[in-house]
Structure 1
Amino acid sequence: MRIGLLTEGGYPYATGESALWCDRLVRGLAPHTFDVYALTGDAGQEPAGRLPLPPHVRAVRTAAPGDAEGGGPGGRSDRCGYGRRERGRFEAAFADLAYGVCAGDVDTGAGPHADPAERFAAGLYALAELARAHGGLPAALRSETAVRVLESACRASGARRTLAAATLPDQLAVVEQWERLLRPLSLDWYDASDGLGRVDLCHAASAGAAALPGLVAKRFFGTPLLVTEHGSRLRAHYLATAGAPFTTPVRALLAAFHGRLAGEAYRRADLLTPGNAHTRRWQERCGADPDRLRTVHPGMDAERFAETGEHEDSGDPATLAWIGRVEPAKDLVALLHAFAAIRRRQPDVRLRIIAAPVRDADAAGYLALCRSLAAQLFPAEAAGAHAAGESPVSFEELGSPEAPTLEDAYAAGAVVVLSSVAEGFPVGLVEAMFCARATVSTDVGAVVEVVGGTGLVVPPRNPTALADACLALLRDPGRRHRLGAAARARALELFTVEQNLAAYRGLYLELLSHAPVRHRAAPGVPFAHPAESHVPGSWADRPAAPATSAPVKATATTVAAAPGDPDA
């Protein structure tokens, strides 16, 4: 089977957990071949280098933000760059898309696309067809025509109330953002002979921009679409734009656009595989059919934690460990306040905060704030520890001599703590479970689903509850060991790479079994022509041949697969 893997800002570049998941998927499904279509996060990813790719990755096609024709920086034009007929088609299509975004979620019951979501979809696919036929959209999307259409949509009857205050600068900013988001429509990926029309299945790594080429391929070629999300892309957009320097109308229009795009991906995908129940609920609320949802937990490498997991009693029984990225969502402030309460009741306890290397100013500022708070909460200990070389709270960097590896970090303490106020899929929690560590976590994201009954879960932003749970495990070694062993058994059952690959192997075959037969010629390859291609009737790909003629053969325009091609 030939898979078109659609990614955004990650694979094949070494960026984040999404890239690692895609790499494990590609390497684990070696009988299939992969074509990678990557929307890069920025132009700097390519020079930074790609992950080493296995031989069954046939091709990698990437698109940076300015790669689409006419998509680079430039001034705004009062022309769409098309002839009169094409300008009319563009204006009608963009009007459908803009009115679909601007309208509230109310079906007016009039017209062919009364439902705003359906009108958005009609405009989106009309723009895709125009881009395919006439060489791209960027110039048209940056034109004055687009701005005028958007202005009319913002002031139309039934538009969202917040859009009434949109000014011309707001509309210019929105059109600029939409042009960037719609650039995948203008790429040269939609070729029936050597593009997405050639693959058997599109697998998108999110329901955002990565799903857009899959939606177009489904529209043009009927290619099945599978969408995987380990965390809701729409939710991530809402969180990212909350502090962005946009006005309220701009923020509302961008949120509405992302909502419509995600909703279209959820409705049109043949199957959706959320990574956890939290993401699944987001998808259902955005219009996904529950019958097409299959929860598939992310697969993680359990082997690297095997030695630590088999010696679950190796940690210091009076040490709490926190491991992760330093950022406000991890709520280390609440953890430090909880630890202060723990120290008052059990003075010999230590807290090791082991953080991934800090790479940006915001994380560095938050880490400095936490260090300052620790000094305020433990002034006597800090002063005395300076001479003694020991402190009740230590801030360490992963990879340092104190914590050279991730396994060493989890082995540092008897209890691993997660104090977050927001989480998608808690990767660090699963790693702690592989290491047979008892855990205390806050009830956010998919934490309860991951932990099950193998750890203690408390409300977020509640230092008192966090302290009580940590003390309960520190003071009861038997319970701590039982929970750690149960956590490891649960993680090995649900969250390994092997179970993840087995799930996708079955889903790929299921989707292909429901898809129409794709007729491809392959000289010298047995069974290269499906039996259906020789049978006269309405289901055949071409008109039936006369009774006296030889069986129908492949036309000259059919792409020939190489001998031995597994997807022939």
Structure 2
Amino acid sequence: MRIGLLTEGGYPYAVGESGLWCDRLVRGLAPHEFDLYALSRDARQEAGGRLPLPPNVRSVHTAPLWTAGDAGRTRGQGRGLGYGRGQERGHGYAHGRGYGRRERRLFEEAFRDLAEGVCADDALRPGAVQEIPERFAAGLYGLADLARAHGGLTAALRSETAVRVLESACRAPGARRSVAAATVPDQLAFTEQLERALRPLSLDWYGEEEGPDGAGGLGLADLCHAASAGAAALPGLLAKRFFGTPLLVTEYGVQLRAHYLAAAGAPLATPVRALLAAFHGRLAGEVYRQAALLTPGNAHARRWQERCGADRARLRTVHPGMDAERFAEVGENEESGDPATLSWIGRVEPAKDLVALLHAFAEVRRQQPDARLRIIAAPVREPGAAAYLAHCRGLAEQLFPDEAAGAHAVGENPVSFEELGGPEAPTLEEAYAAGAVVVSSSVVEGFPVGLVEAMFCARATVSTDVGAVVEVIGGTGLVVPPRNPKALADACLALLRDPGRRHRLGAAARARALELFTVEQNLAAFRGIYLELLSRSPVRRRTTSGVPFAHPAESHVPGSWADQPVTAAACQGDPDV
């Protein structure tokens, strides 16, 4: 079958876990063909180049969300043949010149529905709980229909008309109190952000014809698979609306939560943050309602989806698949690692709460003087990471003044700050092999990739109870409350003093990780899901893949036969039942 894989800020450009799981999916499901539709977040991402793509990737289409003005253009790239498809259809039109009177009226009506859906407070209008999301959806699809028929929305969304409609929605009875105080500058700031978020509505990705280089539109896809419920899923919503293409949404990190956190730290006025939060909440809710199936990566993401209106019957947890083979040698060597060493491995950022870890280790050191702590950090890339790392180094010198490395050092420093890839920890596997216990002190966490890697390495772990940690650990490690150095220290001491318990927990952790978190289990789950969803959607075109049985026989049956229960009455007279 042919899959339209939809990403935002990830594959095929990102090299972290957000890109690797998509790469493993595409390579692992080689009998299927993939068209990649990528929304890029910044110029640096595209300049860094793409990951090498396997031959079952037919085409790559990229659209930037970071450019200013009307520069949001679509590029399609075939199998190494250079850019194929053209620019965004209708880009750069001027409102009032590109739109006639009828189009301006249609825009105003659609944008009013969307703006009132964003501004309305469900708590103030309890009788319209269903009506408000439906109005938002009507506005969203009205804008999409307008863009498809008459061109891009850039100028219209930044026009005086849009600001006037938004101002009216903010002042309307039943509007959120947090947006009622929005000023004209606030409304301008929000419409600028909104225009970027809605650029997928104006792209030229929604065709049904295949070009000579293999590139084609989403109308050719048998299934759309979105890697998040944010802007990446918008093309999937439109493919469902225009062509009836089923939409599958996978979230290993909750995109809505990421938007909330980003808005909280952005230099925006309170009404702008409230408007952005409301928009992304409504968008996520519409994606969850329209998706044929949602595959959260953990219970933490699943709870977010349920709170945003997702139907439990269409939720199926699929844990991320990770490469276990690279950690096999370390995991099978139970005697590796210094029995007095704690290891922390990851990205340096405030959410990891290294400050609490250092205070906890001070208590560990008082009770077990031979204990050591190795902080092995990934190379610094994020803004502010270097300053936070410097702060942690300074704190370590304060907590261990007589032992800190420097002019007055009297012994080996009990805390070492190392960089992954450096001489002390040249590979990730060697970083995990160095210590007996792996510690995670995070205060915010989604799916804890580092803990799964430690489990593959048969390491006992001490971690804080955040995100999906308890679900991942499942009783094979010690879990303590976040921001509690005393509890963290007690748990670390318990494992450092009990080698037998460490080995038992490590072995159990490795067995659990191999059962639940491998690439193989992830691919098996999606292989079955793809066939299941396709079997519910009758074939709309003749397959061009040349692969026999690319479409299961059930897919030729009209209607969602797979959702119909088999009753005793239906089976009467059937000799095979």
TM over 0.5: yes
- Answering whether residue 119 of structure 2 is matched by residue 97 of structure 1, we say no
- Of 110, 125, 129, which residue of structure 1 is paired with 2:141? 125
Shift of 1:105: 1.5
**Structure 1 CA distance for aligned equivalents of residues 377 and 476 of structure 2:** 24
Give deviations 1:502-560, integer Å, cap 9, x for gaps: 0000000000011122132769998999999999x999xxxxxxxxxxxxxxxxxxxxx
Amino acid in structure 2 at the alignment position of 1:155? R
Give deviations 1:339-372, integer Å, cap 9, x for gaps: 0001111101000000001124410010001000
Q: Helix, strand or coil for the counterpart of 2:404?
A: helix
Residue segments in structure 1 that go unaligned for 5+ positions in a row: 540-568
Residue matched to 2:378: 356
Residue matched to 1:426: 448
**Structure 1 CA distance for aligned equivalents of residues 502 and 365 of structure 2:** 19
Q: Helix, strand or coil for the counterpart of 1:445?
A: coil
Cα distance 1:400–1:243, how it changes in 2: closer, same or farther (>3 A)?
Answer: same
Conserved 8 A contact 2:437-2:462: yes
Residue matched to 2:170: 154
Shift of 1:70: 3.0
Shift of 1:115: 1.4
Shift of 1:386: 6.0
- Of 358, 364, 367, which residue of structure 2 is paired with 1:345? 367
Conserved 8 A contact 2:64-2:72: no
Cα distance 1:15–1:169, how it changes in 2: closer, same or farther (>3 A)?
Answer: farther
Residue matched to 1:53: 53
Q: Helix, strand or coil for the counterpart of 1:189?
A: coil
**Structure 1 CA distance for aligned equivalents of residues 303 and 249 of structure 2:** 15
Conserved 8 A contact 2:339-2:435: yes
TM-score (norm 2): 0.88
Cα distance 1:315–1:123, how it changes in 2: closer, same or farther (>3 A)?
Answer: same
Q: Percent identity?
A: 80
Pairing 1:212-361 to 2, within 5 Å after superposition? 212-361=234-383
Shift of 1:382: 1.5
Residue matched to 1:31: 31
Residue matched to 2:575: none
Shift of 1:65: 2.3
Residue matched to 1:170: 186
Shift of 1:78: 6.7
**Structure 1 CA distance for aligned equivalents of residues 556 and 422 of structure 2:** 67
**Structure 2 CA distance for aligned equivalents of residues 503 and 80 of structure 1:** 51
Amino acid in structure 1 at the alignment position of 2:14? A
Give deviations 1:54-73, integer Å, cap 9, x for gaps: 00000000001267993469
Amino acid in structure 1 at the alignment position of 2:157? L
- Of 490, 503, 511, which residue of structure 1 is paired with 2:512? 490
Q: Helix, strand or coil for the counterpart of 1:421?
A: coil
Shift of 1:388: 6.2
Conserved 8 A contact 1:417-1:439: yes
Residue segments in structure 2 that go unaligned for 5+ positions in a row: 74-90, 210-215, 561-577
Q: For the aligned residues, what is the CA RMSD?
A: 2.8
Residue matched to 2:157: 141
Q: Helix, strand or coil for the counterpart of 2:30?
A: coil
- Answering whether residue 137 of structure 2 is matched by residue 115 of structure 1, we say no
Q: Helix, strand or coil for the counterpart of 1:314?
A: coil
Residue matched to 2:205: 189
Shift of 1:15: 3.6
**Structure 2 CA distance for aligned equivalents of residues 380 and 55 of structure 1:** 59
Residue matched to 1:43: 43
Pairing 1:505-520 to 2, within 5 Å after superposition? 505-520=527-542
Residue matched to 2:18: 18
Conserved 8 A contact 1:154-1:163: yes
Shift of 1:228: 0.3
Give deviations 1:464-503, integer Å, cap 9, x for gaps: 0000000000000000000000000000000000000000
- Of 408, 412, 421, which residue of structure 2 is paired with 1:390? 412
Shift of 1:41: 1.2
Residue matched to 1:371: 393
Conserved 8 A contact 2:208-2:217: yes
Residue matched to 2:564: none
Shift of 1:45: 2.3
**Structure 2 CA distance for aligned equivalents of residues 296 and 311 of structure 1:** 29
Residue matched to 1:470: 492
Amino acid in structure 1 at the alignment position of 2:103? E
Q: Helix, strand or coil for the counterpart of 2:509?
A: helix
Q: Helix, strand or coil for the counterpart of 1:312?
A: coil
Q: Helix, strand or coil for the counterpart of 1:440?
A: strand
**Structure 2 CA distance for aligned equivalents of residues 382 and 415 of structure 1:** 22
Conserved 8 A contact 1:313-1:414: no
Residue matched to 1:556: none
Pairing 1:393-412 to 2, within 5 Å after superposition? 393-412=415-434
- Answering whether residue 457 of structure 2 is matched by residue 435 of structure 1, we say yes
Cα distance 1:512–1:250, how it changes in 2: closer, same or farther (>3 A)?
Answer: same
Conserved 8 A contact 1:108-1:115: no
Cα distance 1:371–1:401, how it changes in 2: closer, same or farther (>3 A)?
Answer: same
**Structure 1 CA distance for aligned equivalents of residues 554 and 338 of structure 2:** 67
Conserved 8 A contact 1:81-1:139: no
Once the two structures are overlaid, the 10-residue window that deviates more, 433-442 or 516-525, is 516-525
Shift of 1:318: 0.5
Shift of 1:48: 1.4
Residue matched to 1:2: 2
How many residues matched?
537
Cα distance 1:110–1:284, how it changes in 2: closer, same or farther (>3 A)?
Answer: closer
**Structure 1 CA distance for aligned equivalents of residues 191 and 376 of structure 2:** 43
Amino acid in structure 2 at the alignment position of 1:435? C
Shift of 1:17: 1.2
Conserved 8 A contact 1:438-1:454: yes
**Structure 1 CA distance for aligned equivalents of residues 462 and 499 of structure 2:** 14
Amino acid in structure 2 at the alignment position of 1:415? V
Cα distance 1:68–1:93, how it changes in 2: closer, same or farther (>3 A)?
Answer: farther
Give deviations 1:212-262, integer Å, cap 9, x for gaps: 000010011000000000011111111111121111100000000000000
Cα distance 1:468–1:110, how it changes in 2: closer, same or farther (>3 A)?
Answer: closer
**Structure 1 CA distance for aligned equivalents of residues 253 and 555 of structure 2:** 42
Amino acid in structure 2 at the alignment position of 1:439? T
- Answering whether residue 103 of structure 2 is matched by residue 86 of structure 1, we say yes
Q: Helix, strand or coil for the counterpart of 1:313?
A: coil
Amino acid in structure 2 at the alignment position of 1:204? A
Once the two structures are overlaid, the 10-residue window that deviates more, 240-249 or 268-277, is 240-249
